[in-house]
Amino acid sequence: MTEHSPVPGHGPVRVRVFIEGRVQGVSFRYYTWQKAAQLGVRGWVRNLADGRVEAVYEGPRPAVEEMLAWTRRGPLLARVEAVAIHDEEPQGERDFSVR
């Protein structure tokens, strides 16, 4: 990540991202699920009717930051349109899910 983290706080965090561009929904969701499991990130990812992909990442700040960095890099040259940051305790799902 950069010197100034896009994720506020020191404890668990929750971020919501909208991805558009060269996103292939099924593949992106599968790779996101794999990466989240590797990093220990909870949340979900789903396709939206307008063609974008929406994802919510929850967990320890370093893991969520790495997940955001991974999202911005790909794996399919996806472009993050917006990142809405929620400085709150995660409500949490037990695992990462694909919707």
Options 29, 52, 61, 72, the catalytic residue: 29
Per-residue burial over 29-51, b if 16 or more Cβ lie within 10 Å, else e, is bebbbebbeebebbbbbebeeee
Higher pLDDT, 43 or 3: 43
pTM, full prediction: 0.72
Distance in angstroms (rounded) separating the CA atoms of residues 62 and 52: 26
42 is catalytic: no
Domains, the chain, ranges and CATH?
12-98 (3.30.70.100)
**Residue ranges in 1-99 assigned as alpha helix (H):** 25-39, 61-73
Query: pLDDT tens, 13-49?
Result: 888 888 876 666 567 778 888 999 999 999 888 888 8
pLDDT at 3: 43
22 is catalytic: no
Options 16, 47, 61, 72, the catalytic residue: 47
